[in-house]
Structure 1
């Protein structure tokens, strides 16, 4: 049975530039993932070490399905496989 609890997923991509991040999104869009199924929110920000990504997904299963499309694109760009932190979402505040 599919886990229906929303999750927050955090990634750190050490050494990644925003240009590389933008190119990965361009490749995801070209592969048909402009709006990945199950993704509710996505944010990416440069840090002093690379790029941090924080997502909210409908559930962990949807995130894992997307990972099957994401990993080949990350590999294409020489990005080391990330070690995401997947946390059950406790609270979500929507303004819109």
Structure 2
């Protein structure tokens, strides 16, 4: 079952987010298995929020283990994930 993963990054910055995203895209394994969709932005309290959709919680956890060194290199030391079941996920197809 697909899941919604919300990551709260207290004190996280756009610069950290952009650096992490740049490093992830430079790997030969991104996007990872089970990844469906992603969105991120400021949380309104001085931190950063990420909302991802994954095929399963196990896929998300495998990604975190693989990506942890990149997160740490970008200065992201901790985040607070919330995982919820997704009843439905609709993603607009990429333009041809």
Residue of structure 1 in register with 2:58 after alignment: 61
1:17-28 paired onto structure 2 within 5 Å: 17-28=13-24
Gaps of 5+ in 1: none
Gaps of 5+ in 2: none
Residue 34 (structure 1) shift: 3.2
Distance change (3 Å), C-alpha of 1:20 and 1:93: same
Q: TM-score, normalised by structure 2?
A: 0.82
Tell me the SS of whatever aligns to 2:72: helix
Residue 42 (structure 1) shift: 0.4
Task: Work out the CA distance in 1 between the residues paired with 2:67 and 2:89.
Answer: 25
Q: TM-score, normalised by structure 1?
A: 0.82
Task: Work out the CA distance in 2 between the residues paired with 1:41 and 1:27.
Answer: 18
Among residues 6, 9, 14, which one is paired with 2:2 in the alignment?
A: 6
After alignment, is 86-95 or 60-69 more displaced? 86-95
Contact 1:71 1:81 in 2 (8 A): no
Task: Work out the CA distance in 1 between the residues paired with 2:69 and 2:61.
Answer: 13
Residue 12 (structure 1) shift: 0.8
> Alignment length, in residue pairs?
92
Task: Work out the CA distance in 1 between the residues paired with 2:9 and 2:62.
Answer: 20
